[in-house]
Chain A
């Protein structure tokens, strides 16, 4: 059984601080890693994807991948109240693109 694990939260972050979200996965053959943001009652929105070990930065977001440790993380710098949402980690292990999702981490940015 392939598993993707995330802390459910809520993760409370002061405005302007860095939010750090973690995700572990069980399938060593995993190839593609994605972070989605989901506001309550809305659909998931892609914010980052990463395929290789190391860091990938896009604006205030940084994704970090460590395949040896089977760990992917998301950093949100200068957190804003609009970043309050649930963040979903998703992992793909094949060329069909079938995604395995974690249950999500709720982030609450407090003014």
Chain B
């Protein structure tokens, strides 16, 4: 168990509303990642973090922002949700350096109507 908790686990919201997803880890890992998973696309990287206040964009970052003010928390924000952001969102941590295996949280199922 990599000690990753995602919240909320499920959320339904309306287009245009802001949404924040939280990833919390208990083991002080430096590297954290946000992915989304959609049918036919596999998992795609949204943003990642390599330390407190150190973040960078991934493959599909448009419409998303992140923050990491504490080692244990990595937040993903949809400033103005759109229906195309309906997806399952997974947070992951790397147990060592960036090239090491990643372990995933249980995911957040987000529906935007």
B56 proximity list for chain A (CB < 8 A): 96
Near A by CB (< 8 A), chain B positions 84-109 give 90, 94, 97-107
The answer for the CA separation of A104 and B58 in the assembled complex, in Å, is 20
Number of interface residues of B (CB under 8 A): 27
CB pair A46 B90 closer than 8 Å = no
Q: How many residues of A sit at the interface, in one of the four size bands?
A: 20 to 34
- Asked whether, in the complex, the Cβ of A98 is within 8 Å of the Cβ of B104, the reply is no
Contact B45 A98 (CB under 8 A): yes
How far apart are the CA atoms of A99 and B33 in the complex, in Å? 9
Beta-carbon contact of A98 and B58 below 8 Å = yes
Residue B48, interface by CB 8 Å: yes
**B90–A97 CB distance below 8 A:** no
Establish whether residues B104 and A44, one from each chain, have CB atoms under 8 Å apart when the complex forms. yes
CB distance from A32 to the nearest CB of B (A): 5
B48/A43 in contact, CB under 8 A:
no
In angstroms, Cα B60 to Cα A47, docked, is 26
Kindly state whether residue A70 has any CB partner on chain B within 8 Å: no
A32 partner, pick from B35, B43, B99, B107, beta carbons under 8 A: B99
| Distance (whole angstroms) from the CB of A61 to the closest CB of chain B | 14
Q: Does A76 contact B (CB under 8 A)?
A: no
Is A88's beta carbon under 8 Å from chain B?
yes
Most buried by A among B56, B104, B106: B104
Residue ranges of A at the interface with B (Cβ–Cβ < 8 Å): 4, 31-32, 34, 36, 42-46, 49, 88, 90, 92, 94-104
Q: B-side interface residues toward A, CB under 8 Å?
A: 31, 33, 35, 40-45, 48, 50, 56, 58-59, 90, 94, 97-107
Can you spell out 6 A-B residue pairs with CB atoms less than 8 angstroms apart?
A42-B106, A46-B101, A94-B98, A96-B56, A98-B33, A104-B42
**In the complex, given contacts A92-B99, A99-B35, what are 6 additional A-B residue pairs having Cβ atoms less than 8 angstroms apart?**
A32-B99, A34-B101, A42-B106, A43-B107, A90-B43, A98-B48
